[in-house]
Structure 1
């Protein structure tokens, strides 16, 4: 009976460590895709360093989780007290760090949201139309999220897209005398090219926008999307924490069982 329980415990540890390893691999793959993909908010951010550091940190975390899961599986398979104890200690450190990071983010989420909008606005003003990669990324996001600008279509009146030098008035889409500015085609909600062309010519003095344009800003749309999926995010986080806790508990129990067996054999 004891041997059966010991075998079940051993395989339970291996299963939870395998799940943990797969979680790390999924995190690593997702963040690597975000880093290499050209159509995301990190690409159009003007202050790239901060976002790049975050992505690199998450990639490192995913790699560490994968290695740790493998370490835990090997520890269970070889019945190594050292590997199991090391796995327990490392998961405990990562779990504490994850909890601290979540608390810090939720305590400062308004600051992060404000900085997020500010950074995107700077990129829209300075880089759209001048940087091909950022331009394609912005267009892709506006089409995907069905949005226009950062806070709305009016953001485009300050963009270098409407104040570029060395271009004709048609190319830059602005007339200083009339106060007219253009928004990109990717702001159009209609597939009719004529309706889109007419709708994307806006007047600074008029706050009204055509129904042929997306009216919601991309930052607001992204935040709205995240908040609307808050429950799913909480469930995922809770599952990750639960798996980490179970992996820690079973690993420590197995470690203690291995120690008792070694002492009995001695």
Structure 2
């Protein structure tokens, strides 16, 4: 009877591990999808990522983690079903490394969070943004952001006061990218001269920081919640892997 109970317990652990590894497999697929979407996104978000080293590194970490979890979930499922001790041990060591790497990434994201603040972006905008006809990556990226999200500056159009843009364009209060368009289909500007002179009626008055955050807010919360769920699943998967490893004769 005791042997039968042990066999039932082992079988239960095996199928639970399969389920948890299948969830890891799905989590890896999701991370891969997010990373690929950011890199090929048609709304120019990839340009924002390309000009920010922290975001650029983060996206590639997401891609790498997604690929590893995708492979790991598959190996874990195979190890559980086949009851292969070698696969299970490899799975445990691999997922432990990933688990610790994810914790380290979360700690680093917390430490370097000041690089994603309004103050940091405002300082960089005032220091490097040149105007519509500039060809540097920083300026063209900001032009793409302001055109895409119908916004101006980081906090508001006042961010351009005392900036490099005003030094280079002393007659313009705001760049042309801040001007309101007639419609989304008609790319011509409405009263462009009034806009460049600073008339609030003809410029976009909302800052880009809040516009971008509002646009991605749902995705940020979903990604954060899924990250917590994924870490919990990985922890349980490691426990089940060790229990199954010890239970296999």
Band the TM-score falls in, shorter-chain normalisation: 0.7 to 0.9
Aligned to 2:180: 188
Question: Quick one: structure 1 residues 45 and 80, their matched pair in 2 at CA, closer, same or farther if it must change by over 3 Å?
Answer: closer
SS of corresponding position for 1:196: coil
Aligned residues between the structures? 241
TM-score, length of structure 2 as denominator length: 0.74
**Cα deviation 1:186-207 (Å, max 9, x = unaligned):** 752874979833586233xx6x
Aligned to 1:209: 200
In the TM superposition, residue 217 of structure 1 has moved relative to its aligned partner by 1.6
SS of corresponding position for 2:191: helix
Q: Among 87, 91, 115, which residue is 1:87 paired with?
A: 91
Q: How does 1:85-234 map to 2 (within 5 A)?
A: 85-113=89-117, 114-119=119-124, 125-126=129-130, 128-131=132-135, 138=142, 141-142=145-146, 145-155=149-159, 179-181=171-173, 183-184=175-176, 187-188=179-180, 191=183, 196-197=190-191, 201-203=195-197, 209-210=200-201, 213-223=203-213, 232-234=222-224
- For residues 132 and 54 of structure 2, what CA distance do their matches in structure 1 show? 20
In the TM superposition, residue 69 of structure 1 has moved relative to its aligned partner by 1.1
Maintained 8 Å contact 2:172/2:196:
yes
Aligned to 1:255: 245
Gaps of 5+ in 2: none
In the TM superposition, residue 88 of structure 1 has moved relative to its aligned partner by 1.6
Aligned to 1:168: none
Aligned to 1:62: 66
- For residues 12 and 64 of structure 1, what CA distance do their matches in structure 2 show? 21
- For residues 177 and 80 of structure 2, what CA distance do their matches in structure 1 show? 58
TM-score, length of structure 1 as denominator length: 0.70
- For residues 234 and 219 of structure 1, what CA distance do their matches in structure 2 show? 20
